Amino acid sequence: MLKKRYFLDSENLLYRRVRLSFSEKTKRFFLAFLVSMLLSVLYGFCFKYFLGSPKEKKLDAQVEELKFRYSLLEKEFNKIDTDLADIAASEDNMYRPVLDMATLSESFRQSGYGGTRKYDELEGYMNSDILVLTTRHINEIIRKTYVQSRSFEEIIPEAEDWKNKLEHIPYIQPVRVNIPLGEGIKYRDVHPVLGDSRWHYGQDFSALVGTEVFATGSGVVKKASWTPHGFGNRIEIDHGYGFTTIYGHLSEFNAKPGQEVRRGDLIGKSGSTGISSGPHLHYEIHYNGTVQNPLYFFSDDLTLEEYNRMIESMLTDTLK
């Protein structure tokens, strides 16, 4: 309770009670009300920014946790960006040049980038910058992934065709690698049998009669017969892609016309049939009708053991 206040009436020598007028009471009331309001605001400010309610503290903790997760997510986005860039670089510098394909234009890689106001709906929220950055990064990754997938749709058929081409290109020696080489492509002043001058268009191998002869690439046997043009028993294989190989002076055939063969298949045995000065294998490669030097197509990096294992593996696969 408020204490009553008194004052001394010096004229009458009496204590009289202090009584406030209505206006003074009104002033004091509004002053007390104003002070109480200011104290309430000050308390609320201090409570919110220095103490905070349990609910607010929990929400603040959740917000900080989300920010931390977004930072981890941003690192993952950066890693994905790096991986996509590496894939694009490998494609432009390796896959497409090897497959003889044009590199993708920068305009195609940047296609579907979108406008600058597509994220307006995310503005105006607390931490809108995080929402916009994350959404933009996700959309950018989706766009890059889509462009890369479209590119791979072009590369995959070409790669399959290239793989098939590699299987058909004559790439190995037709006899085992320890058999010495004879004459290669050269102009002969004197033919060893006929005595005239003419070109020798293939590569000879000094192989004894009965030496196994292998298909140097996958293809279809076009001819396996005697020829009156000097090769005697001859096999001709069409490998596709413009390549044809010829195996001459054979003693016997292990393949027939129309037969499909794979690289390393046994197709015949060497001999000395036709116009020949002795047992050997004559081998030719033609590309689009033009004679090629067989030495440019041999995998010389193979050792004898590796070559034998390759041939044995191919023969085993054929018998399965």
Nearest to 274 by CA among 245, 246, 251: 251
Q: Return the structure tokens found at 161.
A: 């065709």
Per-residue pLDDT reduced to its tens digit, 25-73: 777 777 777 777 787 777 666 666 655 566 666 766 767 777 777 777 8
- Regarding whether 40 and 155 lie in a shared domain, the answer is no
- Regarding whether 26 and 103 lie in a shared domain, the answer is no
The dihedrals phi and psi of 141, each to the nearest 5 degrees, come to -65, -40
- Regarding whether 74 and 47 lie in a shared domain, the answer is no
Per-residue pLDDT reduced to its tens digit, 179-218: 888 776 755 544 454 445 556 678 899 899 999 999 999 9
C-alpha dihedral, 87 to 90 to 96 to 97, nearest 10°: 170
- Regarding whether 193 and 92 lie in a shared domain, the answer is no
Per-residue pLDDT reduced to its tens digit, 123-166: 666 666 777 777 778 888 888 888 888 888 888 888 788 888 88
Per-residue pLDDT reduced to its tens digit, 214-261: 999 999 999 999 987 788 999 999 999 999 999 999 999 999 999 999
The pLDDT mean for the chain works out to 78
What is the structure's pLDDT at 304? 60
What is the structure's pLDDT at 60? 67
The confidence band for 269, taking pLDDT boundaries of 50, 70 and 90, is very high
Q: How far is 22 from 19, CA to CA, in rounded Å?
A: 10
- Regarding whether 101 and 36 lie in a shared domain, the answer is no
- Regarding whether 257 and 204 lie in a shared domain, the answer is yes
Domain boundary among 168, 194, 227: 168
- Domain annotation covers residue 135: yes
Number of domains in the chain: 3
- Regarding whether 303 and 197 lie in a shared domain, the answer is yes
- Domain annotation covers residue 257: yes
Give the CATH number, domain containing residue 253: 2.70.70.10
Domain boundary among 107, 142, 168: 168
- Domain annotation covers residue 173: no
Q: CB of 239 within 8 A of CB of 167?
A: no
Q: CB of 168 within 8 A of CB of 240?
A: yes
**CA geometry: angle at 241 spanning 240 and 243, to 5°?**
70
Local structure of 93: helix, strand or coil: helix
- Regarding whether 125 and 94 lie in a shared domain, the answer is yes
- Domain annotation covers residue 278: yes
- Regarding whether 281 and 193 lie in a shared domain, the answer is yes
Q: Return the structure tokens found at 159.
A: 């790669």
What is the structure's pLDDT at 263? 92
What is the structure's pLDDT at 314? 56
| Domain membership of residue 34 as a residue range | 6-51
What is the structure's pLDDT at 105? 75
- Regarding whether 265 and 230 lie in a shared domain, the answer is yes
* Three-state DSSP string of 129-173: HHHHHHHHHHHHHHHHHHHHHHHHHHHHHHHHHHHHHHHHCCCCC
Q: CB of 200 within 8 A of CB of 183?
A: yes
- Domain annotation covers residue 179: no
- Regarding whether 298 and 205 lie in a shared domain, the answer is yes
- Domain annotation covers residue 210: yes
- Regarding whether 229 and 149 lie in a shared domain, the answer is no
- Domain annotation covers residue 24: yes
